[in-house]
């Protein structure tokens, strides 16, 4: 057996806590669904026609993961850092061209997620037809709670809400998702060979907005749990 020698210590594998377990879930990739709630698509100025349109996706690096409960600095290169509260699906297995009816077999569990976004960079990129990477895939921007094991279960409804410093900003229901958990797994598997450890952030409802240095974000999803994030520093 040969052992690999590295120039410097390789990064720790990305992983997420699992509720009620000492074992952590090893993370493969982070997929994000854009515009999956009608009212949010509208507030972004990009309404969705649920009959004609298809879901679309972007990704973040696993190194962007941040555990719920953390306090982190306000990020670089933005003055309009937004919260987006989302249901996250964690896969225990995968494949390509998965049928919607079989999608539940691949579900390990669910978590609460925050898709933190440099909105000013996103709008600038969008208006110029440029990619979203610098707006979306920045350090600490994929906040995640412990994953709750619910193997084989499909969640179709439940309150999803978020507060900033205790004030309600998002309050919706998972049943308002345009494309549900089954459809998203099936659709995404037409573009990627999905794998165990892939996380899918399923999109945010309406009410997105900025969070400033010194502020705290708290969110919850009925039947799943809660999530929090604090941005360090300065006056709000």
Applying CB under 5 A, which residues contact Mn ion?
A: 84, 115, 204
The number of residues in the chain equals 236
> What's the rounded Cα separation, in Å, for the pair 152 and 232?
38
Spatial separation of the C-alpha atoms in residues 158 and 173, rounded to whole Å: 5
Q: Please, which residue, 84 or 137, has the CB nearer to Mn ion?
A: 84
Euclidean distance between the first and the last CA atom of the chain, given in angstroms as a whole number: 56
Residue that has been written with the tokens 């994000």 in this structure:
32
Which residue, 45 or 234, is less far from Mn ion as judged by CB?
45
Least distance between Mn ion and beta carbon 204 (Å)? 5
- Using the minimum distance from each CB to Mn ion, give the nearer residue, 135 or 146: 135
Least spacing, CB of residue 196 vs Mn ion, in Å: 23
The distance of closest approach from Cβ of residue 37 to Mn ion in the complex, given in angstroms and rounded to an integer, is 10
The answer for residues whose C-beta is within 8 angstroms of residue 166's C-beta and 6 or more apart is: 218
Residue 18 or residue 118: which is nearer to Mn ion going by CB? 118
Q: For the chain, what is the radius of gyration of the CA atoms?
A: 17
Give the strand pairing for 25-26 and 15-16: antiparallel
- Which residue's CB comes closest to Mn ion? 115
For residue 98, the minimal CB distance to Mn ion (Å) is: 22
């Amino acid at each position: 057996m040969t052992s690999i020698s590295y120039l410097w210590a390789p990064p720790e594998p990305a992983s997420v806590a699992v509720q009620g377990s000492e074992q952590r879930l090893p993370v493969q990739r982070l997929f994000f669904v854009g515009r999956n709630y009608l009212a949010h698509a509208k507030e972004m100025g990009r309404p969705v026609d649920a009959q004609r349109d298809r879901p679309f996706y972007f990704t973040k690096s696993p190194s962007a993961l941040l555990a719920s409960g953390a306090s982190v600095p306000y990020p670089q290169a933005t003055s309009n850092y937004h919260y987006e509260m989302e249901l996250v699906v964690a896969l225990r297995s995968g494949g390509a061209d998965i049928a919607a009816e079989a999608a539940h077999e691949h579900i390990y569990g669910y978590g609460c997620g925050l898709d933190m976004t440099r909105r000013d960079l996103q709008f600038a990129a969008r208006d110029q037809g440029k990619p979203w990477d610098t707006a979306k895939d920045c350090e600490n921007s994929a906040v995640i709670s412990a994953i709750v094991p619910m193997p084989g279960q499909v969640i179709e409804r439940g309150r999803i809400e978020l507060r900033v410093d205790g004030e309600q900003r998002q309050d919706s229901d998972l049943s308002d998702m345009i494309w549900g958990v089954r459809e998203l797994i099936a659709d995404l598997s037409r573009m990627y060979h999905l794998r165990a450890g892939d996380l899918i952030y399923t999109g945010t409802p309406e009410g997105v907005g900025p969070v400033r240095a010194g502020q705290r974000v708290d969110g919850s999803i009925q039947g799943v749990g809660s999530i929090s994030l604090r941005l360090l520093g300065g006056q709000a």
